[in-house]
Amino acid sequence: MSDAEPIIALENVYKIFGPNPRGRAFDLCSSGVGKDEVQRQTGHVVGMRDISFEVHKGEIFVVMGLSGSGKSTAIRTVNKLHDVTSGRVVVEGINVQDLTGTALQAFRREKLSMVFQHFALFPHRNVIDNTAYGLKVQGVEKRERHEAAIEALAMVGLEAYAFNSTRELSGGMQQRVGLARALCSDPDILLMDEAFSALDPLIRRQMQDELMAIQSKLHKTILFITHDLNEALRIGNRVCILRDGKVIQIGTPEEILTEPADGYVAEFVQDVDQGRVIEVEKVMQAAVFLDTSKSLTECVDSLGERRGGFVVDGDGRPIGLLSVNDAASALAHGTTDLGSVLRSDFDTTTPHARFNDNYAAAGRGLPIAVLDEAGRLVGELEPREIMEEMGRVEELVDGFEREVFL
């Protein structure tokens, strides 16, 4: 993906707020003086300091940072809601700063849609008219724009509410309408500024899932702003971390987690549920392959410290799991035959699954077989051990209960 032509590129963008943005405030800022000091000396506020990043076609690029770090300012330069003080913003080859008047209007309508934190729906219009609003402004006739709106509402699961008033909808539903409205004009680019931040956690997660599902169908280019690192890591293909108007790090979720650029990022990372991001491949171990010609006792010995081992068929596919617990109780009852102790109801996963996808299976306390695409055993996951190391057994149990009982 990173080889692709960028759809959005910010090149050394500065944004300074105040009466004379290109004066001394800019000189100080561009020579490395920090945001607070620039403000103290000049009364100007640094919104963006030498920010560069590229968003590639089809990716969800997340800009993350604390309040005041410059996220909204950055996203607003992309559709020229803000002029830049210095640097360039290029969208699909167009230098956004050059756009004015009708060209700017056409650009905003056709190339991109924006979803805001506070829904920004028209309370006196019903759901379908809110959704179709952008097309109406473009002069699309009613039947056609209603068809497009129904299709967009179906994507967010709200087609049944098309003729309801937006006042009758919950916050989550209103935000779905906001998303449907953005999708309705079928733009290449979605700009989403804290679009889910006002929602409560469960609804927020659902919206994240829906956005990812929609994205896997539509392959939009999405610039997504959040102050929540968990959200950033969950939905972002790449994440850019801002602080005081400056880029601190750009990387994949895994890079951010495993190689935080500095203490600031590291501090954020501490609070993150790593299991959402880490792939099975990173934490699996080599599986123990059992030799069926050996006795049960010999097989147990070959497990060493491990909780289990596998018997595979001629193609390397696991057909049985010997767990230490099963073996111990069998031996206690005088059973010595390996075959009678093997279980076939073991769980499986894949190297690129997320660690957390295995919560329910982990709750059974058995090793999980990691299989490649051909179903061959390539490793073994012992989630409890890993969670213990991460000191998060309680979380594992919670996750298991959530998955099983909710």
Contacted by 69, from ligand ATP, Mg ion, none: CB < 5 to 8 Å by type: ligand ATP
- Alpha carbons 222 and 239: distance in angstroms, whole number: 12
Bridge partners of residue 239, in order along the sequence: 62, 251
Report the residue number, 68 or 351, with the smaller CB distance to ligand ATP. Answer: 68
Question: Do residues 69 and 245 touch, judged by C-beta distance below 8 A?
Answer: yes
CB of 17 to Mg ion, least distance (A): 14
Which of ligand ATP, Mg ion, none does residue 67 bind (CB under 5 to 8 Å by kind)? Answer: ligand ATP
65 versus 399: smaller Cβ distance to ligand ATP: 65
Q: How far is the CB of 231 from ligand ATP (least distance, A)?
A: 13
Tokens coding 318 = 């696991």
Say which entry of Mg ion, ligand ATP, none residue 289 contacts (CB below 5 to 8 A, set by partner kind): none
Q: What are phi and psi of 188, to 5 degrees?
A: -75, -30
For ligand ATP, give the closer residue by CB, 68 or 363. 68
Best CA proximity match to 237, nearest among 63, 15, 9 = 63
Smallest gap from residue 24 Cβ to ligand ATP (A)? 17
Q: Among ligand ATP, Mg ion, none, what binds residue 318 when CB lies within 5 to 8 Å by partner kind?
A: none
Output 72 or 221, the one with its CB closest to Mg ion.
Answer: 72
Binding site for Mg ion (CB under 5 A): 72
Nearer to ligand ATP by Cβ, of 71 and 108: the residue is: 71
> Considering the complex, what minimum distance in angstroms separates the CB of residue 73 from Mg ion?
8
Exposure of 381 in the CB half-sphere (CA atoms within 13 A):
30
Q: Give the separation between CA 152 and CA 161, rounded to whole angstroms.
A: 12
Sign of CA dihedral 161, 164, 170, 176: positive
Tally Cβ neighbours within 10 Å of residue 80: 18
Q: Based on CB atoms, which residue is closest to ligand ATP, 90 or 198?
A: 198
In sign, the C-alpha dihedral spanning 5, 6, 12, 13 is: positive
Instruction: Catalog residues that contact ligand ATP under the rule CB under 6 A.
Output: 17, 45, 47, 65, 67-73, 227
Rounded CA-CA distance 182/8 in Å is 18
Minimum Å gap between C-beta 342 and ligand ATP is 55
Q: Which does 264 bind (CB under 5 to 8 A by kind): ligand ATP, Mg ion, none?
A: none
Quick one: which of 169, 125, 127, 132 has its CA closest to 149?
A: 132
- Taking the least distance from each CB to ligand ATP, the nearer of 46 and 296 is 46
> Which contiguous run of DSSP H or E holds residue 12?
strand 6-17
Q: How far apart are the first and last CA of the chain?
A: 37
Q: How far is the CB of 234 from ligand ATP (least distance, A)?
A: 18
- Choose from Mg ion, ligand ATP, none: what does 56 bind? Cβ within 5-8 Å by kind: none
For residues 27 and 33, what is the distance between their CA atoms, to the nearest angstrom? 9
Q: Which does 68 bind (CB under 5 to 8 A by kind): ligand ATP, Mg ion, none?
A: ligand ATP
Instruction: Pick the closer one to ligand ATP by CB: 115 or 377.
Output: 115
Q: Name residue 335's amino acid.
A: T
> Residue 77's binding partner, choosing from Mg ion, ligand ATP, none, with beta-carbon cut-off 5 to 8 A by kind?
none
Q: What one-character DSSP code corresponds to residue 321?
A: E
